[in-house]
Amino acid sequence: MTSPLIEAQDLRVDLDGRNVLHGVSLAVAPGEIITIVGPNGSGKSSLLRALVGAIPPARGKVVRTPGLRIGYVPQKLSIDPTLPLTVNRFLSLPHRIPPARAAEALEQAGATGLGARQMTQLSGGQFQRVLLARALLGTPQVLMLDEATQGLDQPGAAAFYHRIEEIRRTLGCAIVMVSHDLHVVMAASDRVVCVNGHVCCEGTPEIVASAPEYQALFGTGTKGTLALYRHEHSHHHHHDHPHDHAHDHVPAAAEKTH
């Protein structure tokens, strides 16, 4: 059994004197994709930040493999619109990055050719991919994404998830992702962890979707179905589309779109 890259043991997190998480134990294995879901204010982002080391635990501990390389994609990043800052320059903060390395990271993140563009002129999807490229510069063993698809439309989010799966396949890194959309979880997730101040339930996406704890939190109607981004044609209406084959690699969310 390979030892986990990161392990939280009986973790308690307090913010501004208020308890946001308690009794959380979670291990991240090499190459594993974990999606953390939960309602607003459930402590998802706090858990991610505690795993990264940005928040000290009030109790319990987080053990990381010595020298662990972590790539972090924040929920959002504000850049002063008056600031002239190209993508390449952004990637070179605070340490200069060789142009070839910057180009390689942009390509891995699906942002090829954006290096000379101004950060303030990027679309939402392009901006997220540049943040992803920056996280990949250090060839991380664990990639942490905090609601990285927030603000993207469904095709944009689907394409982003597809890119994440590709990165896991090529780099072999573990991925821990906080999803802001409870009902849409990347189908490639090995494990879904449902959090609401503590771990309510965890398991494969299918197991969590049918767990009473999950359904109690999020309802059992169509809104409560855990929709999965899958790489296949579900019962969507691509069939009469003249360029049907062009959609093969774009995952679609099940159920939710109806």
Distances (CA, A) of 254 to 12, 33, 176, 188: 35, 20, 22, 14
Give the number of other Cβ atoms within 10 Å of residue 23's Cβ: 12
pLDDT at 228: 56
Q: Where are the alpha helices (DSSP H) in the chain?
A: 44-52, 87-91, 99-108, 124-136, 154-171, 205-209, 212-218
87 and 122 Cβ atoms separated by less than 8 Å:
yes
Tens of pLDDT, residue by residue over 147-187, are 888 888 888 888 888 899 899 999 999 999 998 766 667 67
Place of tokens 């691509």: 238
Q: What is the pLDDT of residue 55?
A: 93
Q: Is the pLDDT of residue 115 over 80?
A: yes
Alpha-carbon gap, residue 145 to 185, rounded angstroms: 13
- State the chain's mean pLDDT as an integer: 83
> Do residues 18 and 41 lie in contact, with contact meaning Cβ atoms separated by under 8 Å?
no
Rounded average pLDDT over 91-120:
93
Structure confidence by residue, pLDDT tens digits, 192-233: 999 999 999 999 888 888 888 888 887 654 444 455 554 443
Do the Cβ atoms of 2 and 30 come closer than 8 Å? Answer: yes
Predicted TM-score of the model (pTM): 0.81
Share of the chain above pLDDT 70, in %: 81
134 pLDDT more than 90: yes
Q: Which of 13-27, 73-87, 88-102, 115-129 shows the lowest mean pLDDT across its residues?
A: 73-87
Whether the predicted pLDDT of 106 surpasses 90 = yes
Q: What angle do CA 232, 132, 243 make, to 5 degrees?
A: 30
Largest CA distance in the chain: 58
Taking the domains of the chain in order of start, what are their residue ranges?
78-138
Q: What is the pLDDT of residue 187?
A: 72
